[in-house]
């Protein structure tokens, strides 16, 4: 498992680098998808953080970022945040043990204002942690402003 | 403006082919974005229809389609559906006049069951049509089953 530096100064492993091998092909966050975004999400206190800069062709309705790729990054960030939160709640060592894999049951995205083409900082926190279900709230910031809020209901599909 | 055949047998123009030139660079639906999905949405009775087949690398948590690209396609499909519905409500000729451009204020996606990698059929219908705001409900079907439901609040950002 590769070691990476969290931008908050906490040395840790991205949660995606501990996903089970057979569940690491996701276009948004799979380390084994050469075409994809390969986002990396790090535990940081009670939160999880993803930093990402979209390619310049990810334009939306005008000369701003595409809402679809924003939804995509928030989706995978929430999956990572859910895995981190669930592991902590179950006394597992985040970054050291293989992580369970969560997928999305419901995604909500509120586009508060236009988002410039990156860099973006996405933060997330678990609102509810159940046996198999975790609800995550997320925010995307660009140029120091929160431009998008998201919320996702994530469901665990792998052991433990 | 290019003419295309609607798969329902109705000859018509895709709404995206009537978007204003300066608002046709969207990664999801812009005819001028060579990197993007370039989806095409057609009016069909009270509904709008998009057919799309994702590339095989758009995988999600397992060997099924990526929720992020599903959200992206539903997002742009709802923008197109909103433009069609708004034009009809304002006695404009869909496919013959330049369309107003809608962008997303809020997107909700419910992943009811895993979605296979295409082909997909996405249908949409306007639930509310206001002066600048249109609310659209959408469904994505694959292999004859509805696997995803979406809902979007779309806002008009260009004339008329």
d(CA A60, CA B104): 10
Nearest chain A residue to B59, by CA: A26
For chain B, the domains span: 4-156
Question: What does the pLDDT average to over B67-91?
Answer: 97
- Please give, rounded to a whole number of angstroms, the shortest distance from the CA of A81 to a CA of chain B: 15
Nearest by CB: B69 against A60, A72, A157? A72
Task: Say which CATH architecture domain A4-156 belongs to.
Answer: Roll (3.10)
- Among candidates B6, B75, B68, B85, which has minimal Cα distance to B41? B6
CB atoms within 10 A of CB A18: 25
Phi-psi region of B48 (alpha: psi -120 to 50; beta: other; left: phi over 0): beta
Predicted TM-score (pTM) of this structure: 0.94
Residues of B in contact with A60 (CB under 8 A): 26-28, 103
- pLDDT by residue for chain A (160 residues), tens only, comes to 333 444 444 547 999 999 999 999 999 999 999 999 999 999 998 899 999 999 999 999 888 999 999 999 999 999 999 999 999 999 999 999 999 999 999 999 999 999 999 899 999 999 999 999 999 999 999 999 999 999 999 999 999 8
d(CA A26, CA A24): 6
Question: What does the pLDDT average to over B45-51?
Answer: 94
Neighbouring residues of B73: CB distance < 8 A, sequence distance ≥ 6: A68, B28, B37, B39, B50, B52, B54, B120, B122, B140
Nearest by CB: B72 against A22, A72, A106? A72
- Please give, rounded to a whole number of angstroms, the shortest distance from the CA of A62 to a CA of chain B: 5
């Amino acid at each position: 498992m590769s070691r990476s530096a969290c931008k908050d100064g906490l040395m840790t492993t991205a949660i995606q680098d501990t996903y089970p091998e057979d569940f690491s092909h996701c276009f948004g966050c799979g380390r084994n998808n050469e075409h994809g975004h390969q986002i990396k999400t790090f535990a940081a206190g009670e939160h999880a953080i993803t930093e990402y800069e979209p390619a310049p062709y990810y334009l939306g309705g005008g000369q701003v970022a595409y809402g679809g790729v924003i939804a995509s990054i928030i989706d995978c960030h929430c999956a990572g945040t859910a895995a981190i939160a669930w592991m902590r709640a179950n006394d597992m060592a985040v970054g050291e043990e293989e992580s369970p894999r969560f997928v999305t049951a419901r995604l909500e995205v509120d586009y508060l204002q236009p988002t410039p083409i990156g860099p973006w900082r996405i933060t997330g926190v678990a609102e509810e942690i159940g046996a198999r279900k975790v609800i995550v709230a997320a925010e995307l910031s660009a140029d120091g402003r929160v431009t998008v809020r998201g919320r996702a209901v994530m469901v665990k599909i792998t052991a433990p």
